[in-house]
Structure 1
């Protein structure tokens, strides 16, 4: 006669590493928290989603952003970290400076026990059409977080806004690294090149670039997807070079398999098979 399984027996290895996500809730389901959750899960890590802003938007435009009070989401965080180990943190749209300061304090607190805790900052300054995703100047909002970041992932317009006195991407990356972050990936999707997209990785003593075919159309949530793929891999202890290589390759495949929900920007297919990656 078999013995009934106990509750603890159901927790069989492997235990998935957890990525704590701070981002806006996109009611279109294309970007923000939903994109993050799907991308982190696609590479075998587990998402812990915390909404730092409630947005009003479709797959093209943002109509309004409503920051979530830091006391509310901090209560969620406190319950989670009491029990669940955090293997990485990913931050997207956070709504306002108060949330940025509360997040910076949280990261400092967690790193007292986990000095090497990876923190990926997707520097969301606005939507693809330039609609604001924060209250106040986005550059000012993100200032407390950049010095703490393991990896910062601006696109070309964001890199220029975050480094106003730097004309080249090399100088922009140097400026961000001087602020204290460890790695910068400047994404080239907003360039004028009609055939290819070039992404540039900068860290102290290392530079590298990747060239990808420019796919037809525009995409809603591509930046969120890419940064969250990176977070999922960093949570698993992967080295940064491999993280960036694999994350970009997978994101390109998700964009190539994108689908439409309405006229306008397409949604990356974050459920595409990754067996051939």
Structure 2
């Protein structure tokens, strides 16, 4: 059976980020995405103009038949949309964990768009608080890491794209202690949906049964390749080319 990844994220009509990115990145690893929409957005490849959360009851009802029918091997979390949706998602994860205590949950803690646009009403930090306690690993960039209040024992991959220099350094941490780092040559452009791509690929790799260390290496290598082969659909941020990569 093909491993399934339950995905909670927003819909990007431009096809660059959110659910569209997650579906392609997960498929490229050889897993299958089960996409649950948490928010509807109005955006292009550069800006988010509106973001409207889906009703929390509808989020739960989207997920219910998936949880009942499929063998879910990992969960990937993008924007919840609001605190009510986060609470609904947290309840679903707790239900899954009652049957699968080791179920990996990968959280991309998006606090705003790359341009700083809001991705839902209210405090993005408050909406994430329930989910942070449930995540197996959180993938913040440097500004997100500075803003996050990380509860308890938590693994993180802190991505270093916002730091200066010709090399991007991504650091894997647990309890604030460095476990490993990866170095990638900085690419010349800016990209729409790179964080979604990385988190979704990692969730898929964990769903395939890889250890965290191996999955992190594979997900980063895949994401770097999608950025190196990115394409333009309009001026501004480029779209990662989320095709299967040769091994």
Measure, in 2, the Cα distance between the counterparts of 1:238 and 1:181.
Answer: 21
Measure, in 1, the Cα distance between the counterparts of 2:24 and 2:100.
Answer: 26
Shift of 1:73: 2.0
Shift of 1:221: 0.2
Instruction: Specify whether residues 134 and 181 from structure 1 end up closer, same or farther in structure 2 by C-alpha distance, changes over 3 A only.
Output: farther
Measure, in 2, the Cα distance between the counterparts of 1:105 and 1:180.
Answer: 19
Does the Cα contact within 8 Å between 1:54 and 1:67 map onto a contact in 2? yes
Measure, in 2, the Cα distance between the counterparts of 1:59 and 1:206.
Answer: 34
Measure, in 2, the Cα distance between the counterparts of 1:41 and 1:151.
Answer: 21
Residue 241 of structure 2: aligned partner: 269
Residue 168 of structure 1: aligned partner: none
Residue 118 of structure 1: aligned partner: 104
Does the Cα contact within 8 Å between 2:59 and 2:88 map onto a contact in 1? no
Shift of 1:245: 0.6
For 1:199, which of 170, 184, 190 is the aligned residue?
170
Residue 48 of structure 2: aligned partner: 62
Measure, in 2, the Cα distance between the counterparts of 1:76 and 1:97.
Answer: 17
Aligned residues: 246
For 2:181, which of 183, 193, 209 is the aligned residue?
209
TM-score with structure 1 setting the length: 0.86
Q: Which has the larger radius of gyration?
A: 1
For 1:239, which of 205, 211, 215 is the aligned residue?
211
Shift of 1:206: 5.2
Q: CA RMSD in A?
A: 1.1
Shift of 1:199: 0.6
Shift of 1:109: 1.1
Q: Does 1:26 align with 2:12?
A: yes
Question: CA-to-partner distance for each residue in 1:204-240, whole Å, 9 max, x for gaps?
Answer: 5652111110001100000000000000001011100
Which runs of 5 or more residues in structure 2 are unaligned?
A: none
Q: Secondary structure at the match of 1:247?
A: helix
Q: 1:1-150 residue pairs with structure 2 within 5 A?
A: 15-150=1-136
Measure, in 2, the Cα distance between the counterparts of 1:125 and 1:99.
Answer: 15
Which runs of 5 or more residues in structure 1 are unaligned?
A: 1-14, 164-175
